[in-house]
Amino acid sequence: MGTSAFAATVFTDTFSDGDAAGWSKSGGSWAVADGAFTQSNTGSELARQFAGQTSWTDYQVQARVRPNAFGSSSALVGLAARASSSTKMYRLALLGSGRAELQAVNGSQITSLGSASVGASTGTWYTLKIEASGSTIRGYVNGAQVGGGSNTMADAGRIALVTAYAGGSFDDVTVDSSVSTPTTPPTSSSPTASPTTSTPPSTSWPTPTSSVKVDATIPVSSSGFDGGMKRYYGIGDGGQSESQDPMFELAAGATLRNVIIGAPAGDGVHCLGNCTLVNVWWEDVGEDAATFLGGTTYTVDGGGARSASDKVFQHNGPGTVYIKNFRVESSGKLYRACGNCSTSYQRHVVMDNVTATGTKVLAGINTNWGDTARFTRITILNDPSHSTRICVKYKGVPKGSEPTEIGAGADGVNCIYSESDITWR
């Protein structure tokens, strides 16, 4: 995957304040309503909202995008980076044909940098991301790369929300100033990882600096929480009861770092929106280590978990979970996309640089809902019979029913990895 650096967020807008301060309009009929920024005129040839600085060079921009209506065969709803003028930009577009295309747009000249079928349809939210690093431009939809390559058309510029002959809604826009730099250009089928550090998983469990008894859930605001490698314990009974409170509850945008979670730990960590867990360790997972509830992007970078009789990470909300530089031991599943939640979202997981021992399954996903799981640099320890299953497929069902297992193994569509991605030791 090459080298990477910590990403610094330089811009964010969730539109929860009810206004579009900081954005400048060019065409279309725009309004902030119901927590999203919406363009409603399907007759507008090109509607754009710009934000940020014209001097921005290397960065990644991400947003949730929902096509509401496609008004013609050339209609699109999308996200743009390095907009050096109102008609010159790199654009990631959801098309009425159901495809997504990464484009270099220079007036009426449009150059495709790659495309893929993503089943884009009206009324569904998709997470779009563009990474621009030097001359390398890459585009992702729901964590899967749909295009990328080298292009020198624009080396700096603002971000933009874009529609053409379409209505669309936009939410949770973020811009990070650093992006990963691959050693070789990725292809459209390459697994991708979030822009955080890339260090080997620890080979030993950390020693806590002290212990803290917790009697009630600790709320973590968007400013984050650094535990200083203290052990926190005391919530719940250590069992699998679904009614237990979490040890930490993270607000949207929060980062929890340098924490050891001891037993009992209740339902571990709850992420109410986008969240980041850095160097968090679970000594004895009770119900779940962490549950991802809202938002679209969740990153687990470093740390480890052990003794999860069922699963470590539970993904209930939409979007993508990134798990990297992580160690898991003596557990059922490392990741499970909810198969019977009240809302049947499409969910994705990307695992990179993960070491597992005594773990039955790395990822369980629901293929009938379009879930995907991507794996790179996975190491399985002490499993001479190769009994660990990398990716198990389920048929998701409505709430109140139980999902059924329908297959396992790499298929290039939902479970994405090759033999070279898995090392058995």
What phi and psi, each to the nearest 5 degrees, are found at residue 421?
A: -80, -15
DSSP 69: E
pLDDT at residue 307 is higher than 70: yes
Span 267-286, average pLDDT? 94
Mean pLDDT of 265-281: 95
Which regions of 86-210 does DSSP assign to beta strands (E)?
Answer: 88-95, 99-106, 109-117, 126-133, 136-141, 144-150, 158-164, 166-176
| Percent of all residues in the chain with a pLDDT value above 70, rounded to a whole number | 91
In this prediction, residue 240 carries a pLDDT of 52
Instruction: Return the structure tokens found at 218.
Output: 């600790």
Grouping H, G, I as helix, E, B as strand and the rest as coil, residue 368 is helix
- Evaluate whether 145 touches 138 at the Cβ level (below 8 Å): yes
CATH of the domain at 54: 2.60.120.560
Residue 148 pLDDT greater than 80, yes or no: yes
Are residues 243 and 164 located together in one domain of the fold? no
ω into 264 cis (within 30 of 0): yes
The answer to whether position 399 is within a domain reads yes
| CATH code for the domain of 288 | 2.160.20.10
Q: Between these two residues, 73 and 84, which has the higher pLDDT value?
A: 84
Res. 353: pLDDT tops 60 = yes
Residue 77's pLDDT band (cuts 50, 70, 90)? very high
Count of structural domains, the chain: 2
Residue 103: inside a domain, yes or no?
Answer: yes
- Mean pLDDT along residues 152-171: 96
What is the pLDDT at residue 118? 87
32/154 same-domain check: yes
Q: Is the pLDDT of residue 221 over 90?
A: yes
Task: Give the number of other Cβ atoms within 10 Å of residue 112's Cβ.
Answer: 11
Q: Residue 137 falls within a domain, yes or no?
A: yes
pLDDT of 199 above 70 = no
Domain match, 77 and 169 both = yes
Please check the confidence at residue 288 and state whether its pLDDT lies above 90.
Answer: yes
Are 60 and 170 contained in the same domain? yes
Structure tokens, 219: 């709320």
Q: In whole angstroms, what separates CA 222 from the centre of its chain?
A: 17
Q: Based on the domain organization, do 281 and 373 belong to the same domain?
A: yes
In 3D, which of 87, 84, 81 has the Cα closest to residue 113?
Answer: 81
Is 362 inside any structural domain?
yes
| 115 within domain boundaries | yes
- Please check whether residue 33 lies inside any domain of the structure: yes
Q: Quick one: pLDDT band at residue 213, thresholds 50, 70, 90?
A: very high
The answer as to whether 328 is a domain residue is yes
pLDDT class of 176 with cuts at 50, 70, 90: confident
Q: Tens digit of pLDDT for each residue in 33-55?
A: 888 999 999 999 999 999 999 99
Last residue of a domain, one of 152, 176, 200: 176
Residue 195 lies in a domain: no
* Range of lowest pLDDT (170-184, 200-214, 359-373): 170-184
Q: How confident is the model at residue 421 (pLDDT cuts 50, 70, 90)?
A: very high
- Whether residue 198 is predicted with pLDDT greater than 80 in this model: the reply is no
Range of the domain at 400: 211-424
Report pLDDT digits (tens) over 245-269. Answer: 999 999 999 999 999 999 999 999 9
